[in-house]
Amino acid sequence: MSPPPALHELYRRLHERGPEEGERAARELGDSARREGRRVVVVSACLLGEKTRYDGGDRRAPAATDPLLDDPRVAVLPLCPEILGGMGCPRPPVHVDAGGRIVDESGRDHGEAMRRGAARADALARLAGAERALLKERSPSCGVHAIHGPDGITKGRGLFADRLAARHLPVLSEEDVVKDG
């Protein structure tokens, strides 16, 4: 299922139309939310159905995102640090290696693009006045409790999630919001 048209258009303004347009879109969302008494919540774009994952897919999570989308007190800010960092889609999957570098399967270092994307996403979240975030678990950018490591899933936090947490924003994963059972 695709994201709602207005949300998809916001995603495009934030990610595809250049930095100035992305900043303008984030500011407009924040200004509108403040005028209307809504809070801004960052949501990993893949959880909303945007095709941002390394394999060209998404990780739509309606059980986690629909309550936010349906809440008139919330303005959703869809962000993907990897796309904002210029990594493209599809792209090689990356993980954090034993030395702390972010590499793909061939050992190519993607750390600069990942850091650039995390910084850009954080800047957009600040411009919008984001108060919290719902991020994709296990992502090297957005993982809240776990990320992909050299031997599979390991404890850790992604670069973007770490930046938000350092600013004391509440950061949850889709797994925190939707518990099995």
pLDDT of amino acid 98: 85
What is the number of structural domains in the chain? 1
Q: Please, what are the averages of pLDDT over each run of 10 residues along the chain (181 residues)? A: 85 96 98 97 97 95 96 98 96 90 94 97 98 97 94 94 97 89 41
Q: Record the pTM.
A: 0.95
| Beta bridge mates, 44 | 79
Full residue range of the structural domain in which residue 130 is found: 5-177
Write the secondary structure of the chain as one string of H (helix), E (strand) and C (coil): CCCCHHHHHHHHHHHCCCHHHHHHHHHHHHHHHHHCCCEEEEEEHHHHCCCCCCCCCCCCCHHHHHHHHHCCCEEEEEECHHHHCCCCCCCCCEEECCCCCEEECCCCECHHHHHHHHHHHHHHHHHHCEEEEEECCECCCCCCCEEEECCEEEECCCHHHHHHHHCCCCEEEHHHHCCCC
Region of 104 please: left (phi>0), alpha (psi -120 to 50) or beta: beta
| Beta bridge mates, 39 | 74
| Beta bridge mates, 173 | 135
Taking the alpha carbons at both ends of the chain, their separation in whole angstroms is 24
pLDDT of amino acid 1: 64
Count CA atoms closer than 13 A to 90's CA, side-chain side: 5
pLDDT of amino acid 180: 55
